[in-house]
Structure 1
């Protein structure tokens, strides 16, 4: 296959979708719609580069949306025009490949199988586009009254991407009425024969607020969501304070351990390692190694956070339960949440710290030690 450029049209304002920002920059599961759209195109290795066409007012929104995409195939964006057709033409003029795929920035759920069918179609046809045959019954309506049944045999619903030879679609845009809103229509008006390729039901375009719910459902079915559990125990010995989630609390005893014995932060760290299938603290920071003697547990948690980033995950939620009779955790829970939020760089409303007792039963009930358990939820970027 010869060279292919994907042009992502993302210069629209998306007013029908509501919200204060264009729909392509709104988020689903902490990831902008446009990010999903670009990822779907990057999934096919035949696409050599991707050019996004953006609105002049959206430069910072675009920068934020692609900040986690580290792929040389994503080229610098170009600015759009006053209409979709002008924006598409600006993207076409920035391309230098043999073929171009023109794709809506608000179609985040393009499946790889449909994209493969389209690109394979370029081996047979000069121009092709994804589309779906209509399966519902169609009626002509006038003044809110049914007029006549419309045959659906020759009616298909257009999707994107739409694929063309670069030189042909360039000439079509240069010499054709740009008031047309569909690339296939512009190609046809220039005499280019265009062939439909079977698309996919999930390849929806987000247009209204209701479409976001469907997109969340589709994306949720394909997301890599990990859950990890952590549990740790440290004995109490002589001392005057304990450190829990990085917060020092006055106490009649101290936690004993090779490091600073922050049992709560250890549980959170192990929960993250567990979600990554990456072992536990003991494997990463062996207690047999003297360099970890009295080490701050913040070092351990920061390592787990870094590993998340390296493996392409974001931390979606952390929940920590501290199990002890004393000290009382409630007065310090908010500071613990703030500290964990700062270290992990996630919103504080995604960090939960709470406490319980064992009703004076067991080693925690006898004030012989403190236990903690934690759950970490991670999402693949």
Structure 2
């Protein structure tokens, strides 16, 4: 049986963190940060007990997350630690902060190996920079940066913490009380999360799960002739209300239960008990606002909500839009994601007897995602490949002390975006992050354009030797998409970026003149060029790589001209086709997409007429 207890301090307010979510409730995959760290360290099997301190408002919720001892924290770190020590029964105790999230479990063993050497075993980092204290430069070798976790003799720590002086770590309290401490070398990567920017130095953290979490809520209230009715955050113009401890807004109460259910945070009675006079006649919108704050503090984002109100009376049609707007504003979601429905029960039950109202609500949540992940590949035993895979949709930047296949090349091959050598300037890191975020946005945009082009040009074929095309080149076509396919296929074959200019733009000539000589340019709408611009343009492109297209025939140019005509009389140039040409076009282009029964129906003719038209036009349908 181990004689060692682990205490994890998680009762802080995260006032310096700078986000709505408290840092201990940041989502790491499916788990809040405090649970992730607790499970990571407790899985070593080194501890007889694991104790986690929690903010008073969070104790009941944290008990749902595992078989840990949850102790209510205090106003200060030291007070929280005193509370936790009251539950410790082992000879030794290791104390660490949830904010120091990526502690190597092997480092815990290192502390244990030295436990007999003093009352407190303390990891530290040396100073590499010049240190000035009260305008005096002091010897930096005399300065130590103290880290946690620290291992202490339990009784020594208990005695030391009886002091009224507030200490920021265990060793300082023990030494002040006459105890001893022993320093061991700390770990440079054992960073602590204090500010939002500190997340960038946490190699072990995974992004929140993309799973949706869904909860539902149900509530009923009886009518009361002495009350005013508030429903869905809106005053209802009737001469009765609801019997309730609060204002009786049954719709909001069901919605709160749905949100708490999705987050696994119990129910409205736990959060706002009706035995507490503080909630007597309270505005339920205030309760919903407080619930939303907690949901966000616990690392969740509200996706949508749906509320069904069952009421024989009053009629609610004219209030539904007002309810949607009022509730969506509190939930901080678009009104389109806050649905309100109202129905009767066809005079059945207590609702049908006009005795009260029932409400069912559903809500969906998701974890707040990360845009950027900083990953250290210098930590021995770290499985960074799984981290890179887990964050493949984020920008992963490697932080390395040296360059090798293991620290840089292999992780980059796996999907990391870039690396930066430690130590580094924060400005350089920000530059890399902004660069790759812009790059990823451009990649998504480029893919969208390429997908659209492929879809738009699907089914069109051209037969030209693109490999040996000489530029400048003019193309005359009655169908713009034929020219587009020709140009885009050529650019892809030659791996050439392309600029686009149309002569429908009055500044087209100056645009072309401003382009570098080696630019490949696709110039459209040659038929629209001004006569006065024609000769200057033809002279200008003599040494340029351009393809020029026109929807009309091209004459009197000194460059090669090819003509691409559609055999199917495609009609995207605004022409009005004869009925026969239209029918021929439809049969040629759609006979392989629809069976004859459906195709003839769409054309408004019989199957026999369709067969006769094929024969007339010489169209053969391939089997």
TM-score by length of 1: 0.52
Q: CA deviation at 1:54?
A: 0.8
- CA deviation string 1:322-353 (max 9, x = no partner): xxxxxxxxxxxxxxxxxxxxxxx9959999xx
Residue 180 of structure 1 is matched in structure 2 by 167
Contact 1:126 1:194 in 2 (8 A): yes
Residue 49 of structure 1 is matched in structure 2 by 49
- CA deviation string 1:182-207 (max 9, x = no partner): 21111111111011122211111111
Residue 110 of structure 2 is matched in structure 1 by 117
Residue 162 of structure 1 is matched in structure 2 by 150
Change (3 A) 1:359 1:211: same
Give 5+ residue unaligned stretches, structure 2.
Answer: 209-363, 370-392, 394-447, 461-590, 595-623
Higher RCO by CA contacts (8 Å cutoff, separation 6 or greater): 1
- CA deviation string 1:145-202 (max 9, x = no partner): xx3322111211111111111122112223x234223211111111110111222111
Change (3 A) 1:185 1:348: closer
Mapped pair 1:13 → 2:13: yes
Counterpart-to-counterpart distance in 2, 1:32 and 1:52: 13
SS of the aligned residue for 1:197 comes to strand
Mapped pair 1:129 → 2:122: yes
Residue 286 of structure 2 is matched in structure 1 by none
SS of the aligned residue for 1:185 comes to helix
Q: CA deviation at 1:61?
A: 5.5
Residue 260 of structure 2 is matched in structure 1 by none
Contact 2:29 2:207 in 1 (8 A): no
Counterpart-to-counterpart distance in 1, 2:175 and 2:117: 18
Q: CA deviation at 1:367?
A: 6.6
Mapped pair 1:189 → 2:176: yes
Counterpart-to-counterpart distance in 2, 1:56 and 1:152: 41
- CA deviation string 1:293-332 (max 9, x = no partner): xxxxxxxxxxxxxxxxxxxxxxxxxxxxxxxxxxxxxxxx
Contact 1:107 1:203 in 2 (8 A): yes
SS of the aligned residue for 1:57 comes to coil
Contact 2:119 2:174 in 1 (8 A): no
Contact 1:132 1:199 in 2 (8 A): yes
SS of the aligned residue for 1:160 comes to coil
Counterpart-to-counterpart distance in 2, 1:14 and 1:56: 14
Q: CA deviation at 1:31?
A: 3.9
Residue 37 of structure 2 is matched in structure 1 by 37
Q: CA deviation at 1:78?
A: 0.6
* Mapping 1:347-366, distance limit 5 Å: 359=458
Change (3 A) 1:151 1:61: farther
Counterpart-to-counterpart distance in 1, 2:88 and 2:459: 71
Change (3 A) 1:61 1:134: farther
* Mapping 1:210-289, distance limit 5 Å: 210-215=197-202, 218-219=203-204
Contact 1:86 1:178 in 2 (8 A): no
Say which of 77, 89, 93 aligns to 1:100: 93
Q: CA deviation at 1:106?
A: 1.1
- CA deviation string 1:51-81 (max 9, x = no partner): 00111012366357xx3x5xxxx52201012
Contact 1:2 1:98 in 2 (8 A): no
TM-score by length of 2: 0.33
Q: CA deviation at 1:101?
A: 0.7
Mapped pair 1:84 → 2:112: no
Counterpart-to-counterpart distance in 2, 1:191 and 1:63: 37
Mapped pair 1:59 → 2:51: no
RMSD of aligned alpha carbons: 3.5
Residue 336 of structure 1 is matched in structure 2 by none
Residue 136 of structure 2 is matched in structure 1 by 148
Contact 1:25 1:62 in 2 (8 A): no
Counterpart-to-counterpart distance in 2, 1:172 and 1:179: 11
Contact 1:24 1:106 in 2 (8 A): yes
SS of the aligned residue for 1:153 comes to helix
SS of the aligned residue for 1:16 comes to coil
Change (3 A) 1:136 1:114: farther
Counterpart-to-counterpart distance in 2, 1:211 and 1:48: 31
Give 5+ residue unaligned stretches, structure 1.
Answer: 142-146, 226-344, 369-381
Q: CA deviation at 1:36?
A: 3.0
Change (3 A) 1:131 1:348: closer
Residue 200 of structure 1 is matched in structure 2 by 187
- CA deviation string 1:86-137 (max 9, x = no partner): 1100101111111111111211111123222112111443320222122222
